[in-house]
Every structure is written in structure tokens, then in C-alpha cells.
């Protein structure tokens, strides 16, 4: 019978292991938070035979703050990879200097590392060592699931399906899969915290079901001894182990207090109770005390938290309100945020998981209401949560709140809104979900939820994570739709061509294009390139500094003579002065060659300004709706500024130049300020219906011009043919195809 009950558990564990191993294989190495630092900390212990020391004077980019972390995960990892040659790992691992860490909106450089053929199967060297450590994390996750199952069986001993459901929900949580497919000490602290939480639940549970509680309490030293060992190991894994120790002491004291009740306790009872506490505390001190002493001697802090804060850029001194404002990111990363916090699934994944949580919350509320208002013999029944052991619910809640409070305290000092940091309290989370979901009549449909969640996690792996690290296409020839360039960019690289994908954009939006690169021979060095977008007056309005292939494929990895189709996107600045025809230039960062123009994109504002009625019509499609002069009285040599507003009713289709003349109709101009609209930064052939262009012109009164009154006229003409667009006002043609703006008074 017991084997029949466990069969679904075996299936859940097998599916979890397969799915998480797939995450570990598909997600490239070191594309998880802090993963390369965790890896090299284990390597440092393996190579040097001692614990590393974190120091500002010996800041090692390959270890960072992990050198000050509790060492158990790294020590175990060092043992596991001891047979593997990792001596060249520091030289072979290639980090991306342009990585966009923490930015899920990034279009390029979401990879923290450059992935070379050294990572390919069959694994060897550092790649083999890294995958061994990833598998170690995966197995720790399986152990965590076992403790979730055992905890659920403890709480609901007669409903094995509850335990299956609670285990499966966590087993197929995408963030749980991702975390346990990476090299991280989180896997060990989650496992040990879950083990200790289960031990404490079992310890507390025995006093909710026996009559002689005080006597049972006094004979559980061995249980507490084992729990103390577990917590001591947890404290050697991560600082959350300290919270676990505080929690355990509270559980023991609380259980003793409940067991004692109103009994009169003898000195022997007190002595034995203190002995129980010592059975818990002494193993913790013996196992982890040396580490706290070492931290104090090295860093002046038993937790070495000050080292973390230093490497994170210093204490940010946030208020609680500022920390709580980051709850949205914390909540999402509890479910599915990948990469270095820069790979985000579509919204529907979060909505699905929000739905699971919401259903559980509603189920809990439903149980509370039903328990509170149900009647027995005409009298309200005692309010309850319909759970056999309410103490266990309180214990679960207390552990979660303690972990959450610890995280909030840490977030006051540094950026740490990461859902994985709540996983030491995974058992309370799993039990809460299980309880809430099972308040509904879902038994006939119970298998559908785990299957759905497993498929969603698989989707995240194949269609969210995988495309981020896909290499660019290699093509045989330049497509006919691309602009042929054939420009020698230096360092042996040729920019064969370019193809603009985005024709029109607004400030803050991305534009997409493809650059076609080629190297006659494989270059000896990886030369990054820089893409620059220039707006009005050659103002920089967007740029990208990167290796090719969205940061994934530097030239040293290219096959000789292959054409690399590097498609990528770059964001326009939020504050672009629009409209403008932006120009895109590409150059190699370390080469002497100048940048080459690869394309143009029309940038328009988010909304066009409001205009008044037309003052004059130019041709069939352009109206002058406003004109303002800086002055109508000027002296010889003085410059007059003319602000005008054009409104487009139909695209002009050609490029025109603005005519600005100080002249009588039909007479040669005495002064002129002709130039293309917006200085040519937004040619009229781009103007589209309903666009509004605000422009400014200048005209200088000639020196020696006689006093008098002179008409100032404006028009539009074709710069090639000098043919003017006809001008009308109230459907009346205007002389000389110009519009009279104002009469300027010239005085000495």
C-alpha cells in the first residue's frame, strides 16, 4: 500500500529531474545570477586547499562577495570536481564586458558570458566541472521536494493526494527549476532549510496528538540533536541558517510552553527542558561557530554581510517604503525571471501563476468563512481552519515571516529583490498553496494542474530562455533586400551590407536592423563595434556598444569567409527631439577606420502638437498654420527669427526648400534665409498626413539697407528645378507663389 501511495511521487521526482537537467543543459553556463562567482569559489577551494578571503585590496572578479559566503556548498563542490582539470578555467571563461544585467527590456547583451566551443559536448575541463555542480544542485532540489512531500504527509496523513499536489506545484515552478539547474549555494540552503523545517514540524506535531505532552517533550533530545546538526550545516551554507537557528529555538520554547500548559513543573522538568535546548544549540555552535569567529576576525562581522554590501556598491540606506516598492519584482522573480534578471517570460506565465496563488488564497478564505459560520445544534461552531494541527500552520507562517523579514532587512542595505531568497521558506509556501487549492473540489482534475505547470516550465525553457542565447544566422550571400556596402572596417572585418527593418519609430522605442559581417580569416582578437544614431544637428540619440551577434558571437568565433547576419535592436533615447530622420553609423571600437552610414529611420513624436486654422496653403498638401517673428522692427545687420508651423494634409512626395525673402513680389530679394525645413534633418519627402512640423528660420537685414518698410515672404520650392509650390489664401492665389508674413520696418 505504501508503495502505491509513493508511485505518483516517483513520477513527480523523475519529471522534475528530467526537466531541471534539461534546464542545466540548455541554459548556457554562467547565465544564472552570480553563477560564475559560485563556480570559481569552489574552484579556488579545490585548487588552493583553503577558504578564500574577500578583500577590497585583492578584489577578484571571479569570486567577488562569494569568497565571504559560508563555505559548505563550495567545499562539497570542490570535492565533487576534484578529479576534473580546472587549472585553465580562469583563462577560458570569457565574460561579456557589455552585459545588460538586471534589464529585462534589453535587446542585446543579455548574455553574461561569451560561449565558446569549450562548452560543447563532450564536456571537459571547466565545462565538465560546471555541469557536475549543476547536477549537484538539481539533486539537492529533488531532496527539497522529498521534504515538501514528507511535510505534507505529516500535516495531511490521510490525504496522500495533497502531498502529491504540493510537491508537484513546486517541482514545476519555473524559478525552482532554473535555480536548481545552476551553480548556487541557494540550492543547499533551500534543501537544508526544508530538512530542518520538516524536523521541527515533526517535533512540534507529536505534542498536538499525545496526552502526556510534557513527558514526551522531555525525551526528544535525539530529535533536537539531529535538528541542530541540520541547522548547523545550514548555517555553513548561507546566512539564512542563522534565521533557522532563531526559529528553531522559538519552536522548542513554544512547544515546551504549550506542553507544560497549567501543570506544576518540577526542577527536573526545567532541567530536562534546558537540556533539550542545549541538544539543539550545541551542535549549531560546534558546526558553525568557527565560521562566525573567522568572519569576526577577518571582517568584523560574524555574518560577513558588510562584505556583501561593499561589493554591491555600499549601503543604499533605503527606507522600508522604498524596499516595499520593489515587491513587484520580488513577486515576479518568485515565479519566473531568468538569466541575470534580464530574461522575462510573457505576461501570461505570470498571470497563470497568479491564478494558481489566487485560487489558493480564495480557497483559504472560503475555508475560513465556512468554518466560522457553519452551525451545529443551532450554535456557531468554533472558528477553525479545518486543519488537524493548527500549531503546524502557525509554525509554517512564522518561518515564512522570519525569512521575509530577514530579506527585507537585507534589502534595506542592498538590491536583493529576488524571489529565490524566499525559497528557504519553500515548505510554508508549498503547504499554503496545497491547503488553499485543496479547499476546492478539484480531485477529478487534480492531475491537470501539475501537467499544465510542467508544460509551462518547459515552454519557458524552450521558447523564453533558448532564443536569448541563439547565435546569428550564417548566410551564403547578401540578400537582395539589403543595402550593399562592402566596407573594410579594419581588423580584417568587412561590413558586407545592412538592412533596416524599422522604418518609423517614436522616442524610447527600439529600432531593428541586420548587419552582414564577414572575415576572410578568423581574427586574432575580438573587436567590438559601436552603433550610433544621430538626430537633429548630429545629436546622439541612441547607441550600442557590443560584440557581434547581440553580444554572443565575437569575430574570433566566426568561420572564415562566412557572412554573419547579425540582427539586433537598439533603443532610441526617451528625449529625442522629433521629428527627425535619424542616421545610423557603425564603426569598430578599436580600429582606425571611420564609421560608415548603414541606414536611416524616421523618428516621430508620440503625439503631434495642436494647430490653428491654415494661414496659407502650399501646393496640395502643406499648410502654414502659425508664424511668429522675434521682431517687426529691425536695424541693418540685425537678425530676425521666424518661427513657423506646418501642417501636412497630403504627403508632398518630394524634397522642398523653404523660401524666406525680404522682397516685394516679383522683385529680387534684398535679403534671404532659404534652407530646407529643420535644416534638412527631416526632409519633406518624409512628411505624412496629419504631421505637424515646428520650424525656425533666420533672416539678417543687410548692412546699409535704407530705412523703410519691407515685405517678408515665405514659400516652398524644389531645389533642383527652383519651381515654387503655388500658394493660396482662402482659395485665392498669392502673388509670386509666396505668402506675406509681415512688413518689416527697418530703421537706423
Cα 230 to Cα 188, 254, 273, 680: the distances in Å are 11, 20, 20, 73
Other Cβ atoms closer than 10 A to 489? 20
Look at the chain and report how many structural domains it folds into: 3
Give the strand pairing for 379-380 and 732-733.
Answer: unpaired
> What is the structure's pLDDT at 717?
96
Residues of the chain with pLDDT > 70, as a percent, come to 91
H or E, element range at 329: helix 327-333
pLDDT above 90: percentage of residues in the chain: 69
Q: Quick one: average pLDDT of 244-269?
A: 74
**Residue 609 reports pLDDT greater than 80:** yes
The whole-angstrom separation of Cα 26 and Cα 20 is 10
pLDDT in tens, 614-644: 999 999 899 999 999 999 999 999 999 999 9
Strands 739-746 and 633-634: parallel
Cα dihedral 448, 450, 456, 461 sign: negative
Contact call for residues 187 and 195 (beta carbons, < 8 A) = no
Domain termination residue (choose one: 435, 464, 493): 464
Residue 74 lies in a domain: yes
Q: 737 lies in a domain?
A: yes
Question: What are the grid coordinates assigned to 78, written together?
Answer: 570542490
Q: Of 407, 393, 474, 403, which is closest to residue 435 (Cα–Cα)?
A: 393
Residues 484, 520: one domain? Answer: yes
Q: How confident is the model at residue 673 (pLDDT cuts 50, 70, 90)?
A: very high
Kindly state whether residues 654 and 725 are assigned to the same domain.
yes
> Are 509 and 631 in the same domain?
no
**pLDDT, position 381:** 42
The DSSP output letter for 624 is E
- Please state, in angstroms and rounded to a whole number, the distance separating the CA atoms of residues 154 and 160: 10
**pLDDT at position 590 over 90:** no
Residue 372 pLDDT level (bands cut at 50, 70, 90): very low
Give yes or no: residues 597 and 639 share one domain. no
| pLDDT at 124 exceeding the cut of 80 | yes
CA distance 469 to 477: 24
Residue 383 lies inside a defined structural domain of this protein? yes
Cα(425)–Cα(141) distance, integer angstroms: 14
Contacts 24+ apart (CB under 8 A), 362-366: 362/436, 363/435, 363/436, 363/437, 363/438, 363/439, 363/440, 364/432, 364/435, 364/436, 364/439, 366/439, 366/440
Instruction: Assess if residue 659 is contained within a domain.
Output: yes
What is the model's pLDDT at position 208?
Answer: 47
Can you tell me whether residue 313 is helix, strand or coil?
coil
Cβ-contact 639, 744 below 8 angstroms: no
pLDDT in tens, 539-577: 999 999 999 999 999 999 999 999 999 999 999 999 999
End-to-end CA, the chain: 112
Residue 722 has pLDDT above 70, yes or no: yes
Which of the four pLDDT bands, split at 50, 70 and 90, describes residue 97? very high
Angle in degrees, 0-180, between the axes of helices 125-155 and 186-205, rounded to the nearest 10: 20
Task: For residue 154, tell me if it sits in a domain.
Answer: yes
Segment 34-62 mean pLDDT: 85
Last residue of a domain, one of 421, 440, 464: 464
Would 103 be classed as within a structural domain?
A: no
- 501, 483 Cβ separation under 8 angstroms: no
The full DSSP string for 362-430 is: HHHHHHHHHHHH-EETTEEPPP--S-S-HHHHHHHHHHHHHHHHHHHHHHTTS----GGGGGGGHHHHH
CATH number of the domain within which 719 lies:
2.60.40.770
Q: How far is the C-alpha of 228 from the C-alpha of 282, rounded, in Å?
A: 7
Contact assessment for residue 127 and residue 118, using Cβ atoms and an 8 Å cutoff: yes
Rounded to the nearest integer, the mean pLDDT of the chain is 89
Is position 108 within any domain? Answer: no
Q: What is the mean pLDDT of residues 300-321?
A: 85
Rounded Cα–Cα distance for residues 658 and 715 (Å): 6
Compute the C-alpha angle 55/58/62, nearest 5°. 95
Same domain, 643 and 680: yes
Q: Residues 449-478: what's their mean pLDDT?
A: 96
146 and 197 belong to one structural domain: yes
Beta bridge partners of 644: 627, 695
Q: What long-range pairs does 295-302 form, CB within 8 A, spacing at least 24?
A: 295/68, 298/53, 298/68, 299/54, 299/68
Residues 519 and 583: beta-carbon distance below 8 Å: no
pLDDT at 681: 96
Sheet holding 493-500, edge to edge: 473-475, 563-571, 510-519, 493-500, 483-490
Q: Is the pLDDT of residue 220 over 80?
A: no
Domain end, chosen from 409, 442, 464, is at 464
Place of cell 496523513: 157
- Check whether residue 207 and residue 128 sit in a common domain: yes
Phi, psi for residue 377 in degrees, rounded to 5: 55, 35
> Residue 387: is its pLDDT beyond 60?
no
Task: Note the pLDDT of residue 388.
Answer: 47
Give the C-alpha separation, 714 to 723, whole Å: 14
What is the sign, positive or negative, of the torsion defined by CA atoms of 53, 54, 59, 62? positive
Q: Does one domain contain both 173 and 204? A: yes
Report d(CA 500, CA 602) in Å as an integer. 11
Instruction: Check whether residue 525 and residue 406 sit in a common domain.
Output: no
- pLDDT band at residue 699 using 50, 70 and 90 as cut-offs: very high
Cite the DSSP H helix spans in 89-185. 89-92, 125-155, 160-171, 174-179
* 336-340, 442-446, 581-585: least confidently modelled range: 442-446
Q: Which of 678, 669, 646, 672 is nearest to 660 (CA)?
A: 672
* Per-residue confidence (pLDDT) for residue 282, from 0 to 100: 94
Q: Which residues span the domain enclosing 549?
A: 473-603
* Cβ within 8 Å of residue 610, ≥6 positions away: 692
647 forms beta bridges with 623, 692
Structure confidence at residue 373 (pLDDT): 42
d(CA 723, CA 618): 12
Query: Looking at the structure, do residues 625 and 669 belong to the same domain, yes or no?
Result: yes
The kind and range of the H/E element at 74 are helix 72-80
d(CA 133, CA 32): 13
Q: Is the pLDDT of residue 265 over 80?
A: no
The length of the chain, given as a count of residues: 748
Contact 561, 518 (CB under 8 A): yes
pLDDT value for 1: 44
**Per-residue pLDDT for 213 more than 50?**
no
SS (H, E, C) 451-513: HHHHHHHHHHHHHHHHHHCCCCEEECCCCCCCEEEEEEEECCEEEEEEEECCCEECCCCEEEE
**608: in domain:** no
**Same domain as 658, residue 700:** yes
Instruction: Collect all residues with Cβ–Cβ distance below 8 Å to 647 and sequence separation of at least 6.
Output: 611, 614, 622, 623, 625, 690, 691, 692, 693
178 has a pLDDT exceeding 60: yes
Higher local confidence (pLDDT), 446 or 135: 135
DSSP label at residue 551: T
The values of phi and psi at residue 672, to 5°, are -150, 155
Is the pTM higher than 0.95? The answer reads no
Q: How far is CA 25 from CA 120, 128, 176, 550, 582, in A?
A: 10, 11, 16, 21, 42
Same domain assignment for residues 729 and 626:
yes
| 195-209, 408-422, 457-471: least confident range | 195-209
Residue 59 has pLDDT above 60, yes or no: no
The DSSP 8-state label assigned to residue 609 in this structure reads P
What SS3 state is found at 743? strand
Amino acid at each position: 500500500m505504501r508503495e502505491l501511495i509513493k508511485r505518483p511521487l516517483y513520477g513527480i521526482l523523475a519529471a522534475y529531474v528530467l526537466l531541471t537537467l534539461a534546464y542545466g543543459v540548455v541554459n548556457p553556463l554562467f547565465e544564472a545570477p552570480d553563477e560564475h562567482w559560485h563556480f570559481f569559489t569552489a574552484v579556488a577551494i579545490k585548487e588552493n586547499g583553503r577558504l578564500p578571503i574577500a578583500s577590497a585590496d585583492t578584489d577578484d572578479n571571479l569570486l567577488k562577495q562569494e569568497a565571504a559566503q559560508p563555505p559548505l556548498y563550495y567545499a562539497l563542490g570542490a570535492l565533487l570536481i576534484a578529479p576534473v582539470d580546472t587549472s585553465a578555467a580562469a583563462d577560458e571563461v570569457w565574460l561579456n564586458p557589455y552585459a545588460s544585467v538586471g534589464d529585462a527590456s534589453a535587446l542585446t547583451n543579455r548574455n553574461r558570458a561569451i560561449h565558446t566551443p569549450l562548452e560543447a559536448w563532450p564536456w571537459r575541463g571547466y565545462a565538465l566541472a560546471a555541469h557536475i555542480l549543476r547536477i549537484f544542485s538539481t539533486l539537492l532540489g529533488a531532496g527539497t521536494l522529498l521534504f515538501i512531500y514528507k511535510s505534507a504527509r505529516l500535516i495531511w496523513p490521510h490525504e496522500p493526494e495533497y502531498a502529491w499536489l504540493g510537491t508537484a506545484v513546486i517541482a514545476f515552478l519555473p524559478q525552482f527549476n532554473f535555480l536548481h539547474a545552476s551553480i548556487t549555494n541557494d540550492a543547499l540552503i533551500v534543501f537544508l532549510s526544508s530538512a530542518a523545517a520538516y524536523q521541527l514540524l515533526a517535533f512540534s506535531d507529536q505534542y498536538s496528538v499525545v496526552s502526556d505532552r510534557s513527558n514526551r517533550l522531555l525525551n526528544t533530545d535525539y530529535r533536537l540533536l539531529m535538528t541542530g546538526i541540520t541547522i548547523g550545516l545550514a548555517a555553513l551554507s548561507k546566512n539564512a541558517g542563522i534565521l533557522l537557528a532563531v526559529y528553531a529555538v522559538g519552536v522548542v520554547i513554544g512547544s515546551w510552553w504549550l506542553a507544560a500548559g497549567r501543570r506544576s513543573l518540577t526542577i527536573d522538568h526545567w532541567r530536562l527542558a534546558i537540556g533539550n535546548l542545549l541538544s539543539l544549540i550545541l551542535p549549531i555552535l560546534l558546526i558553525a561557530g568557527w565560521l562566525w569567529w573567522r568572519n569576526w576576525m577577518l571582517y568584523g562581522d560574524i555574518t560577513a554581510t558588510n562584505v556583501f554590501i561593499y561589493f554591491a556598491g555600499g549601503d543604499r540606506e533605503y527606507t522600508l517604503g522604498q524596499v516595499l516598492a520593489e515587491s513587484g519584482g520580488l513577486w515576479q522573480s518568485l515565479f519566473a525571471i531568468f538569466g541575470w534578471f534580464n530574461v522575462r517570460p510573457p505576461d501570461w506565465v505570470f498571470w497563470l501563476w497568479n491564478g494558481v496563488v489566487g485560487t489558493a488564497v480564495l480557497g483559504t478564505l472560503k475555508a475560513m468563512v465556512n468554518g466560522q459560520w457553519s452551525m451545529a445544534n443551532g450554535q456557531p461552531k468554533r472558528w477553525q481552519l479545518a486543519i488537524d494541527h493548527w500549531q503546524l500552520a502557525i509554525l509554517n507562517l512564522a518561518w515564512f515571516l522570519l525569512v521575509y523579514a530577514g530579506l527585507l532587512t537585507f534589502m534595506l542595505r542592498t538590491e536583493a529583490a529576488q524571489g529565490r531568497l524566499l525559497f528557504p521558506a519553500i515548505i510554508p509556501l508549498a503547504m499554503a498553496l496545497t491547503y488553499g487549492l485543496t479547499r476546492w473540489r478539484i480531485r477529478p482534475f487534480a492531475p491537470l494542474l501539475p501537467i499544465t505547470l510542467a508544460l509551462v516550465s518547459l515552454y519557458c525553457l524552450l521558447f523564453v530562455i533558448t532564443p536569448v542565447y541563439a547565435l546569428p544566422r550564417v548566410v551564403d550571400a547578401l540578400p537582395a533586400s539589403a543595402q550593399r556596402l562592402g566596407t573594410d572596417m579594419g581588423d580584417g572585418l568587412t561590413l558586407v551590407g545592412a538592412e533596416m527593418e524599422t522604418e518609423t519609430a517614436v522616442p524610447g522605442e527600439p529600432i531593428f536592423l541586420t548587419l552582414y559581417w564577414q572575415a576572410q580569416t578568423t581574427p586574432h582578437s575580438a573587436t567590438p563595434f559601436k552603433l550610433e544614431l544621430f538626430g537633429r544637428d548630429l545629436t546622439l540619440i541612441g547607441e550600442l556598444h557590443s560584440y557581434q551577434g547581440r553580444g554572443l558571437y565575437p569575430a574570433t568565433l566566426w568561420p572564415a569567409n562566412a557572412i554573419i547576419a547579425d540582427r539586433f535592436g537598439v533603443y532610441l533615447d526617451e528625449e529625442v527631439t522629433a521629428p527627425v530622420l535619424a542616421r545610423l553609423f557603425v564603426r569598430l571600437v578599436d580600429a582606425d577606420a571611420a564609421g560608415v552610414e548603414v541606414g536611416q529611420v524616421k523618428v516621430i513624436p508620440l503625439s503631434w502638437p495642436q494647430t490653428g486654422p491654415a494661414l496659407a496653403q502650399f501646393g496640395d498638401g502643406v499648410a502654414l498654420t502659425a508664424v511668429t517673428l522675434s521682431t517687426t522692427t529691425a536695424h541693418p545687420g540685425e537678425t530676425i527669427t521666424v518661427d513657423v508651423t506646418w501642417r501636412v494634409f497630403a504627403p508632398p512626395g518630394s524634397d522642398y526648400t523653404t523660401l524666406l525673402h525680404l522682397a516685394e513680389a516679383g522683385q529680387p530679394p534684398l535679403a534671404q534665409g532659404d534652407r530646407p525645413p529643420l535644416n534638412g534633418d527631416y526632409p519633406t519627402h518624409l512628411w505624412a498626413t496629419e504631421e505637424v512640423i515646428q520650424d525656425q528660420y533666420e533672416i539678417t537685414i543687410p548692412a546699409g539697407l535704407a530705412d523703410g518698410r519691407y515685405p517678408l515672404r515665405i514659400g516652398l520650392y524644389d531645389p533642383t528645378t527652383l519651381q515654387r509650390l503655388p500658394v493660396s489664401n482662402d482659395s485665392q492665389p498669392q502673388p509670386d507663389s509666396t505668402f506675406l508674413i509681415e512688413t518689416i520696418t527697418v530703421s537706423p
